[in-house]
Chain A
Amino acid sequence: MMGLRTNFFIILLFGTVFFSSAQTVLKGVVQDSSGTRLSMINVVLQAFDSNAILAYCYSNTKGEYELEINKKGDFILGASGMGYAPNKIKIQVNAQSETVLVNDFKLLEKAFDLKEVILNADRPIVVKKDTISIKVNTFTNGSEEVVEDILKKLPGIEVTKDGTVKVQGKSVEKIMVEGDDLFEKGYKLLTKNLHAGVLDKVEILEHYSHNSLLKNIEDSDRVALNITLKEDQKSTLFGNIGLGYGTDQFYENKLNLISFNEKSKYYFFGNLNNIGSDAVDDIFQIVYPDFFTAQNYIGDGMTADNLINIGSYTPDINQNRIKFNNAELASLNGIFNPNKRLKIKGLVFLASDEIGLSRASFEEFALPPNNFRNNENYTQKKKSIAISGKWDFIYKLNKNAQIAYIGRYNSGNFRDKALLLFNDEAINELVNNETRYSDHRVTHTRRFSDNSAFQLTARYISDDRPQNYLVDAFLFQSLFPNLQNVLRVTQESHNTIDFMGLEGSYLIRKENSFVSIKAGMANTINKLQSDLIFEDDLQNQISTGDQFQNDFEATLRDLYTSASYKYTFKKFSVRSELALHQFSSRISSRGLVNRKSPLTLIPSLGLSWNINGKNKIITSYKYNTRNLPFNELYDGYTLTSYRNFNRGIGNFSQLKGSYFLASYLLGNWSDSFLINSSLIYNKNHDYVGRTSEVQSSFVLNNTTLLKDREFYSMNFTGDKLIDKLATNMKINVGVSKNRFQNIINDSGLRTIESDAYSYGGEFRSVFLGRFNFHLGSKWTTSLVKSSIDTKNTNNTTFLDLTFDIAPNLSLEIKNECYYFGNLPANKTTYFTDFDLRYNLKGDKLKLRFIVNNLFNNRTFSNFYVSDTGSYGTGFQLLPRYILIKLGYRF
């Protein structure tokens, strides 16, 4: 009996131990030494032997605190408050049932000993003047794969869907790695391929200057990024490879290989394709950036011309559609830092391409009495092979001075073969071109103080272009009535430019102003030898006489000085510039020498007014004097196509013109209504006009200097959000009027007014779901009034549909429609392209399924009106193809 009871009791006891909540309440009052109750005192229950905090609270307005704990053991209960010394006691909780432990605290005053200011030296973002340095790991969580993924998460940095990196709305100039710039504007190769894990810091460089010595002196709004790598990751190899094969033997293969080391960085790029993709473009931008941007150094953009370019006209659609090509491109790019003072960059690329173009065109010449219609059917094949190189040596003399040498070399052979059906005559053309281009520039930069610097540049450029043109038809019988049985026409030409220049510039920056003073000397020599030779059926070579020959040499020396001043005052900003040129020209043509030495003054003025956050007005005015370009001076006829001759003036002349621009902007991003309007007025007091003799089988163009050509243009763009339709609407309206003169055949001086009216709009949806569209249409009406009146209306419409089918799968359907109002038939052409993207392994392995030209359009036709009639072309298009691309990033 007893036993049972004991057992029961024991069980009950155990039961109690298990099932009763061992909830202990700790409470009490917190007071200061005088017994005053203290509120907002932190009371914390901590584990005895670790940092673990089990419970905490703050005392209330009556100084009371209360904590609950479910565990038992030894703990530390402490009260602490600002201005008091912390008070901690050890407590033991071993109750098996609900217990209340009361413990009051008495806190002794302790002076709040924050004597000095405490600064955090480990902030994730440190701003020093124009450099913002961001420690990457504060903002990342490890799921990022490539640099682009990290950049998207950093404050102030934005990455658009196509990979363009912007800082505070501005596109970055370049993204450097450890101070080295391998890609310039082609940085997407870096951001989309370099592993995220190697990044330590990202620096935003504001007011960025390509030349570090000009920083804060040069007026720069540019932004660049610099990436620093983790210590143990400074050597790395990465890149991507893409293979694409499709129907009808279409292919596109690409390889990007990038290697970083402490002292050197390399980048290799290869591209093989036959889908019309022009890989040379990206490399070209790195080697010849000055052809696309404003002039930075004396001589930028200087090249010689080719007299003949077959098939240079292409329609305004994606060029990939019309180029039947076979391209191979390989390029190697490297940066070496042998020591701290010297940096060497080298780039070499080889490109070879075979481009086929096929087009049918007509020209309707409607000026009586010579009205005619010409039909041309062209099939041409352009073969080109070019090698280009660029090398930079930058040597830092000391902290404030550096000297840089940049050299470029380009050598190419181009062979163009065309079969032409001209009206009913079959004609063969062959052009052989060579280019030998070299460019050497030495720039010395010296910084005198924090806001002034001096730069001296010496430049030498040489561009040599021999060309040989052959056509096996003689269309010029009426020009050479005495010649019989001419079977072939050959034009041999040799055009060269030699440029030498020296320029010094002094830059000063003050708080609200910026001054730049330049002085220099430039010497340009252009030589043209050209000869037109006829060959008869007996293979005799007949020279055509000196009217159709050029033995031309022009030397233009320019001694100049210019000053530019920019001043900012509150909401106004003024920019004025004055340039003085002493030109000295010597033109020698077929034995006759002609000299001129005009002194020329070129002023310009610009004003901008930021009225308030929402309204801004910009105006600018320039009175410019331009020298006639060399190719308007050749006074022997040169053949520029199988039936076109051009002849220049032979005398050095200057063209004066006035340019005026005014623009008004209303609204900002948070407004639902935005306006951007501009007005441009140009008046060319002198301009290059044409006196032409136009016949069906040939055209003779003579350069004529005429007076007073006017051009107006007004443009207006408005944006409005329509909430109910979840769509944005954009309206664009523009007018331009061009008034000029020319002489055609026996017309005498005729005035032509060419007007263009454009109007269009866009709708872009912003649905929150997986589907969105973008619809746009633009009409252009051209009116040409002269001795004949012509009118034409064209339209371009597009509709893009995007479907986010799944997180890894997206589809884009692009539709375009081109309408040319005056085409007799086939006025409209439709294009539809599919692009399906699937991410197989996150971002590392991607599959792409492309269908191009779904409706298998074979021809693209367009139509334009001019002051002599109209012309239209029909281009042969790449047929419909399906391409499957696989891309792997490593």
Chain B
Amino acid sequence: MPIQLWTNTKHMYNHMIRFNCQLLLFVSFISLAQNEQPMLVIDYDFYLNFDGPTHFRSSLYIKGNERLFVQGHGDNESIEEEKEQKEDGSFSFSFKFFENDSIGGYNYTNLTNDTIISRKPWFDKKIYFLKEQVTQIDWRIYEDTQKVGSILCQKASGNFRGRTYEVWFAPEFPLNAGPWKLSGLPGIILKAADTTGKSVMVFSKIRKEDPALFPRIGIDNEKFISIEEYAKLQKSAGQELARKLMAKMPRGVKIEATSSESLEIFED
């Protein structure tokens, strides 16, 4: 009943408001553009557990309708190739599994046009720029709450690119944002883990920064590949890497003869 009344009253005002609104709208667009909201930066510990060194110190920059998730550099970058020649002629080695250059990988999400642009350093010094539409993940929200650090979060789960993620989002930060490509919940995702434990993202720090410090990324002149092309690329690289690994193994050492795993799983 009360709502009905309200609507009627609004109806009466509409005329006037409408006129004003147009101006207001115009003004408000400008105001939006000059939004002085501070930039929120969330640092995440990003763990990927596929056969190798895996801890990344990532950061998520949130400014207006832009999100930039910078994967960061691995803990173990200093261990590149280490080969030790033993007296019996055999050698032992350690290796870096994730290709990275000085800029690294990142995911730039633009909520205005709903796209994600990802920069991916690849083997043999190649770099790929992937452009895709934001995938609307079908989240199921539970009533469970839990403190992640000191922040109360609520649980949700959803499937994305072949993995099921269990995430915890913070309603007290009501922004559509999350690490990597996970988003679309009524709060920032502060913790996410896929159910096989192969990928875990947990926030380590939340801070405010001057929005002018949003990292500059120059992608205007880059050539983009589609998500389908990326799927093909990933499949062949995974196999190639596993095979290169096998070449080095001496007799008696067994490795699982499957292609190496990846964070995004595409159906054939």
Contact = CB atoms under 8 A, between A and B. Distances in A.
Interface of A: 35-37, 39-42, 44, 50-53, 56, 58, 61-63, 80-83, 86, 91, 101-104, 112, 114, 117-125, 127, 138-141, 153-156, 158, 160-162, 168-171, 613-614, 616, 618, 661, 663, 665, 667-672, 674, 676, 678, 715, 719-721, 723, 726-730, 734, 762, 764-768, 772, 774, 776, 798, 800, 802
A613 B123 CA distance: 13
18 contacts: A42-B175, A82-B175, A83-B37, A102-B7, A120-B150, A120-B204, A123-B204, A125-B47, A168-B79, A169-B93, A668-B81, A669-B81, A669-B245, A670-B124, A674-B247, A721-B240, A721-B247, A723-B243
B174 A80 contact: yes
B72 interface: no
Contacts of A44: 171, 174, 186
Contacts of B54: 155-156
Interface string B143-183: 11101111100100000000000000001011110000000
B223 interface: no
B149 A125 contact: no
B51 A670 contact: no
B60 to A, nearest CB: 14
Given A36-B27, A118-B207, A721-B240, 18 more contacts: A40-B64, A51-B143, A82-B37, A104-B10, A120-B204, A125-B55, A141-B195, A153-B198, A161-B256, A169-B94, A618-B85, A669-B95, A676-B83, A727-B243, A728-B243, A728-B244, A728-B247, A764-B247
Interface string B1-35: 00100010010000000000000110110011000
Contact of B80 (A82, A160, A668, A762): A668
- Range of interface residues on chain B? 35 or more
Interface in B86-139: 89, 91-97, 99, 111-112, 123-124
B68 interface: no
B197 A153 contact: yes
A680 to B, nearest CB: 9
Given A118-B150, A122-B149, A169-B82, A800 B186 contact: no
Contact of A156 (B53, B154, B186, B193): B53
B221 interface: no
Contacts of A82: 37, 40, 173-175
A768 B174 contact: no
Given A39-B32, A723-B240, A734-B89, A162 B254 contact: yes
Contacts of A112: 37-38, 208
Nearest to A762: B251
A82 B82 CA distance: 48
Contacts of B234: none
Contact of B65 (A39, A63, A670): A39
A51 B37 contact: no
Contacts of B198: 153
Contacts of B65: 39-40
A117 B89 contact: no
A91 to B, nearest CB: 8
Contact of B243 (A56, A62, A766): A766
Given A614-B81, A665-B83, A800-B251, A53 B141 contact: yes
B79 A53 contact: no
B200 interface: yes
Closest 4 CB pairs of A and B: A169-B94, A120-B149, A728-B247, A42-B174
Contact of B149 (A121, A616, A669, A772): A121
Which among B24, B75, B76, B81 has the highest number of chain A CB atoms within 10 Å? B81
Contacts of B93: 169
A42 B186 contact: yes
B205 A117 contact: yes
B251 A798 contact: yes
A124 B200 contact: yes
Among A53, A138, A774, find the residue whose CB has the most chain B CB atoms closer than 10 A. Answer: A53
A287 B255 CA distance: 31
A118 B49 contact: no
B184 to A, nearest CB: 9
Contacts of A124: 45, 47, 200, 202
B81 A616 contact: yes
B243 A721 contact: yes
A56 B171 CA distance: 12
A436 to B, nearest CB: 32
B143 A50 contact: yes
